[in-house]
Amino acid sequence: MTAPDDPPMIDRDLLESGMAQPEASVELVRPSREQAEEAVRTLIAWAGDDPTREGLLETPARVARAWEEFFAGYGMDPEEVLRKTFEETDGYDEMVTVRDIRLESHCEHHLVPIVGRAHVAYLPDRRVVGLSKLARVVEIFAKRMQIQEKLTVQIADSIDRVLAPKGVAVVIEAAHECMTTRGVRKHESMTVTSRMTGEFRSNPATRREFLAMIGHR
Ligand SMILES: Nc1nc2c(ncn2[C@@H]2O[C@H](COP(=O)(O)OP(=O)(O)OP(=O)(O)O)[C@@H](O)[C@H]2O)c(=O)[nH]1
Ligand SMILES: [Zn+2]
């Protein structure tokens, strides 16, 4: 039996499967699919409806499947995706920018959608990465429970770590449904976050060039 003051345990299988973020430090025991569906039935009843009526009978299973999509990013390794690079670039050393990457995430406070766009740029140092991989990295971190600031940093820093470029810039513009459909209900509000590393941080001209590329006012 575990003594009450033992250090918290991390479920190793869960960590290795990638379903837990590495910074997790509390006990993580992954419930079964059936337990997850039961939790949905509980929420339906708590909201005031009858989970046994025909229209809602399959809802717990559908919600579980939807969550597998919404949170698929726990099972994926963004650094693995970035590891395949190309060095035959004929000396290309200007900025590479992929802008307007559609972003769909969920806020970790209310578990409701965050929807917007991400713009990702880097200044290559000899090697470049497949363009789709930048969008894949956005996708992997977005498909987790997030706050926009952390999402922005995670995308930029993973590219920085794996590609070791001269700099990385990430800007995210997004609407948070927890601010639009509930709570303060500010329908038009957009949250803009950015993370700049290397030359994007140290050189105002590089930063300006990037902001012009993504059409920032
Ligand atoms: N910094 C940050 N805050 C977020 C993000 N997504 C949602 N939030 C905020 O998280 C906060 C949670 O505040 P709480 O006071 O604990 O929760 P709440 O009572 O539901 O707050 P209200 O939304 O103001 O009704 C709210 O201010 C949300 O707007 C995010 O990506 N980054
Ligand atoms: Zn929220």
26: CATH: 1.10.286.10
Per-residue model confidence as pLDDT tens digits over 83-97? 999 999 899 999 999
- Tell me which residue range forms the domain holding 58: 12-72
Is there an atom of ligand 1 within 6 Å of 184 CB?
yes
Q: Supply the residue whose CA is at minimum distance from atom 16 of ligand 1.
A: 109
Same domain, 101 and 55: no
Instruction: Please report whether residue 78 resides in a domain.
Output: no
Q: Which of 104, 105, 109, 151 to mutate to test the pocket of ligand 1 (most atoms within 8 A of CB)?
A: 109
Confidence of residue 161 (pLDDT cuts 50, 70, 90): very high
CA 112–ligand 1 middle distance (angstroms): 11
CB 8 within 8 A of CB 28: no
Q: What is the CATH number of the domain that holds 96?
A: 3.30.1130.10
Known binding-site residues for Zn(2+) equal 107, 110, 178
Could you tell me if 112 and 171 lie in one domain?
yes
Asked if residue 190 and residue 95 are part of one domain, the reply reads: yes
* Residue 160, in any domain of the structure: yes
DSSP string, 95-129: -EEEEEEEEEEEETTT--EEEEEEEEEEE-BSBEE
* ipTM confidence score: 0.88
147 lines ligand 1 (CB under 6 A): yes
Proximal ligand: closest to the CA of 191: 1
Grade residue 19 by pLDDT with cuts at 50, 70 and 90. Answer: very low
Q: Which ligand is nearest to the CA of 110?
A: 2
| 120 in the same domain as 66 | no
Note whether 100 and 184 are same-domain residues: yes
In this structure, the residue with its CA closest to atom 13 of ligand 1 is 109
- 82 within a domain of the structure (yes/no): no
The percent of residues above 70 in pLDDT, for the chain, comes to: 88
Strand partners, 115: 104, 175
205 & 118 share domain: yes
Tell whether 176 is covered by a domain. Answer: yes
Look at residue 144 and tell me if it is in a domain. yes
Q: Are 181 and 112 found together in one domain?
A: yes
Are 66 and 94 within one domain?
A: no
Across 92-106, average pLDDT: 97
Is residue 16 over pLDDT 80? no
The pLDDT of residue 1 is above 80: no
Report the share of the chain in percent with pLDDT over 90: 82
Q: Residues 209, 108: one domain?
A: yes
Q: Please tell me whether residues 103 and 21 are part of one structural domain.
A: no
Number of domains in the chain: 2
User: Which ligand neighbours the alpha carbon of 178 most closely?
Assistant: 2
Q: What is the per-residue pLDDT for 27?
A: 76
Q: From the CB of 26, is ligand 1 less than 6 Å away?
A: no
End-to-end CA distance of the chain: 60
pLDDT > 50? residue 3: no
Q: Is the pLDDT of residue 144 over 50?
A: yes
Note whether 48 and 147 are same-domain residues: no
Judge if 54 and 103 occupy the same domain: no
Give the Cα separation of 88 and 127 in Å (integer): 8
Catalytically active residues are 107-110, 148, 176, 178
- Each residue of 45-75: pLDDT tens digit? 999 999 999 999 999 999 999 999 999 999 9
Are 37 and 64 in contact by the 8 Å Cβ rule? The answer is: yes
Per-residue confidence (pLDDT) for residue 4, from 0 to 100 = 40
Q: Cα separation of 73 and 136, whole Å?
A: 10
Task: Indicate whether 205 belongs to any domain.
Answer: yes
Establish if 77 belongs to a structural domain: no
Q: Please check whether residue 1 lies inside any domain of the structure.
A: no
Pairwise CA distance, residues 61 & 73, whole Å: 20
